[in-house]
Amino acid sequence: MSPRTAVAAAVAALAALISQNARAADAIAAHPRDLKFEPLKFDVPKADAYKFTLKTGQTAYVVEDHSLPLVNIQITMRAGSFLDPKDKPGVAGLTGGMMRLGGTQKMTAEEFDEAADFLAANMGTYIGDTSGGANLDCLSRNLDAVLDLFFDMMKTPRFQQDRLDIQKGQILEGMKQRNDDADSILGREWNWLIYGPDHFSVRQQTKAQLDSITREDLIAFHKTWWRPSNMILAISGDVDAKAIVANLSARFAGWNVTGAPVPWPPPAPEWTIKPGLYHVEKDIPQGKVSIGHLGTVWSNPDQFALQVMNDILGGGGFTSRITKTVRSNEGLAYHASSTFGIGTWFPTDFSIDYQSKNPTVALAAKLALEEVKKIRTEPVGAEELETSKNGFIESFPRRFDSKRAMANLWAQDDFIGRPHSYWEAWRDNIRKVSAADVQRVAQKYLQTDKIAFLVVGKWSEIEPGDPNGRASMKEFFGGQVIHLPLRDPLTLQPMK
């Protein structure tokens, strides 16, 4: 190529590049609001393609992922604190924790810890309010050796006495600090107002009850309720589905636990909320507040409209009404929000929660309750409604953002009896929510005549209210207040 030809070719190439860049520049939006995106497309994976049944009867969801040499197994089972002996609350939770911490019949706790560390394995067990389970994370090359430890831990725990003593000592130290934080006081008294003090989900343990729990109690609980027949498995990672199912089937074979069936489902509270204004004295500069009542359960077809309604009211962060009014516009609280509980076995609670300087507690409550009244009496705006629904719909794929999340979600479906088709219809159910639906469920489920209003703080500064006269605590429940006692942290009896 001659020099003149080479120069001409270079000029032509440069001109083409400039033209291409000019077209690209024209495609750049002048403002972020002008950006255009392709519609989000996400198809819910079909759970049945990953569902297996072990020869021993357990259901397992296995999602292979060979991108890293890691394996996760999560077991969920029917157990919980609702099975605690009535005079010994806390046995279930201690049993669940000590299965991992207390060694096995073959190994002391120290030997088991060393073996797990050598294999770079992370294992745990738990028993919560309405479920129990076990989990492991390990390298796929070590899986068989880790499963040996894992099943030994589940089947024959040692409940080593010195480790149990340490665990009970840590629980006792936590008890001693129950009144140090106003949030702890608020949570305890709020749960008792909503569910009653005797429901298993909010029952508080005393020192005497903790002291009464023995190693034999844990052995008995494990023997009675830790049952392989009640287990559902979620498995993800670097495994072959058929091989891991066969492996686990062999390990479950011969592990039989018999006895009375687990009472199921866990019992709902037998308690009627007593509406009113409640207070616990605590000398702090900011009052801690919860206002609300019971919510509903996931099987309620109104749950989708309730989620959107609460998102607009106070659950949607800075775009929600309570947050904007109480925090952003008035500057009365750093955090102010609402939650509408969608329970599994029984309703959880609807609550408005915030903390504010003592003199402005009343004003913040007044403004928040005005937002409740507004959403009950006026249709929400079209833009507000679409913003909320789009937020739910566009974040939906995150529920399936990993193989582990997928397996665990499907196992949870089976555990609570929720059909997998629930997720296939989920976004359409959100899309269907109208402004009329939001107003309808607000009117039906935001029961302003049945609310409990609990505040923890210095009453002499809270009661008078806003120095400018915009609100005072006398505006609520006719100024009638029920002063709840501060309780001894170890006995839970009223302190003098």
Write down all domains in the chain, each with its CATH number in brackets. Answer: 49-252 (3.30.830.10), 276-484 (3.30.830.10)
Among 46, 56, 69, residue whose Cα is nearest residue 421: 46
Among 51, 149, 141, residue whose Cα is nearest residue 100: 149
CB 186 within 8 A of CB 288: yes
What is the widest separation between alpha-carbon atoms in the chain? 103
pLDDT at 239: 98
Residue 12's pLDDT band (cuts 50, 70, 90): low
Q: Determine what percent of the chain is predicted with pLDDT higher than 90.
A: 90
Mean local confidence (pLDDT), 295-310: 97
Computed over every residue of the chain, the mean pLDDT equals 94
pTM of the model: 0.89
Q: Determine what percent of the chain is predicted with pLDDT higher than 70.
A: 95
Q: Is the pLDDT of residue 94 over 80?
A: yes
Cα dist from 397 to 42, 58, 386, 415, whole Å? 7, 28, 18, 22
Query: Which residue, chain included where needed, has tokens 């340490």?
Result: 166
Q: Is the pLDDT of residue 66 over 60?
A: yes
CB 204 within 8 A of CB 489: no
pLDDT at 403: 97
Residue 494's CB is within 10 A of a number of other CB atoms, namely: 10
Residue 15's pLDDT band (cuts 50, 70, 90): low
Among 333, 335, 330, residue whose Cα is nearest residue 358: 333
Q: How far apart are CA 423 and CA 405, in angstroms?
A: 14
| Residue pLDDT, tens place only, 214-247 | 999 999 999 999 999 999 999 999 999 999 999 9
Own/partner contacts of 422-431, CB < 8 Å, gap of 24 or more, are 423/44, 423/399, 424/44, 426/304, 426/396, 427/392, 427/393, 427/396, 429/304, 430/304, 430/307, 430/308, 430/389, 430/392, 430/393, 431/389, 431/393
CB 53 within 8 A of CB 59: yes
Q: Is the pLDDT of residue 176 over 90?
A: yes
Q: Is 238 exposed, middle or buried (0-12, 13-18, 19+ CB in 10 A)?
A: middle
CB 403 within 8 A of CB 237: yes
Among 36, 19, 62, 38, residue whose Cα is nearest residue 410: 62
CB 364 within 8 A of CB 336: yes
Q: How far apart are CA 301 and CA 317, in angstroms?
A: 25
Q: Is the pLDDT of residue 180 over 70?
A: yes
Does 269 sit behind a cis peptide bond, omega within 30 degrees of 0 on the bond before it? no
Among 262, 298, 275, 249, residue whose Cα is nearest residue 476: 275
Q: How far apart are CA 264 and CA 202, in angstroms?
A: 19
Residue 39's pLDDT band (cuts 50, 70, 90): confident
Mean local confidence (pLDDT), 2-16: 55
pLDDT at 27: 64
Residue 440's CB is within 10 A of a number of other CB atoms, namely: 15
Residue 59's CB is within 10 A of a number of other CB atoms, namely: 16
Please give the structure tokens belonging to residue 446.
């935001």
Residue of 176 and 20 predicted with greater confidence: 176
pLDDT at 38: 76
Cα dist from 24 to 27, 35, 449, whole Å? 5, 14, 60
